[in-house]
Amino acid sequence: MQHFLLIKRDGLSRSGARLDARASALQLLDSRIWPLWRRTPNRTRVAAGDAVAIYLAGDRESRVIARAVVERVGTWNRQLANAYPLLLDGEPVSVLHLMSAEIFDRAVDVRAVLPRLSFVRPGLKKWGVHFTGGMRALPAADFGLLTR
């Protein structure tokens, strides 16, 4: 089993209303689908059975709110586009079908665990660069820190 961090920023509802990162992520978790674009890092590495943590990116966010398991990886299609709960910004190429989503009662503040994360360079002022790109692979120990 591999471990990944899915990164979600603010989004728009299908009607165009602004949604914060949490509301956007919760809608995706509720729909059990998470789109991946052509340039999403690790898009071709993720597979059924892999664990994902949901990270909220943004000025007032920087926290992990949930984890889930990838049930399967599929190809994006018109049926998924019609069921997608948010306004699409571009055309995804694949989709993670999620299961066993667990939304945390208390989100994990990433700033609190930064010094213990192996993929974050110590003393880096702009540590947020490690939390960009839509998805990143994580060592199991870091996944554990970010999901309790």
Beta bridge partners of 103: 66
- Give the DSSP H/E element, type plus range, for residue 46: none
pLDDT in tens, 50-107: 999 999 998 778 999 999 999 999 999 999 999 999 999 899 999 999 999 999 999 9
Which pLDDT value is given to residue 142?
96
Half-sphere exposure of 69 (CA within 13 A, CB side): 6
Which pLDDT value is given to residue 22?
96
Tokens 């089993």 belong to residue: 1
Task: List helix spans (H) across 1-148.
Answer: 21-31, 78-83, 110-113, 140-147
Which pLDDT value is given to residue 131?
87
Residue 20 or 59, more confident: 20
Residue 82: count other Cβ atoms within 10 Å of its Cβ: 7
Q: How far is CA 32 from the centre of its chain?
A: 12
Q: Give the CATH number of the domain where residue 106 resides.
A: 3.10.590.10
Which pLDDT value is given to residue 95?
98
pLDDT in tens, 96-135: 999 999 999 999 999 999 999 998 887 777 888 888 889 9
pTM of the shown model:
0.94
Containing structural domain, residue 70: 3-147
Domain count for the chain:
1
Which pLDDT value is given to residue 133?
87
Tell me: pLDDT of 7 over 90: yes
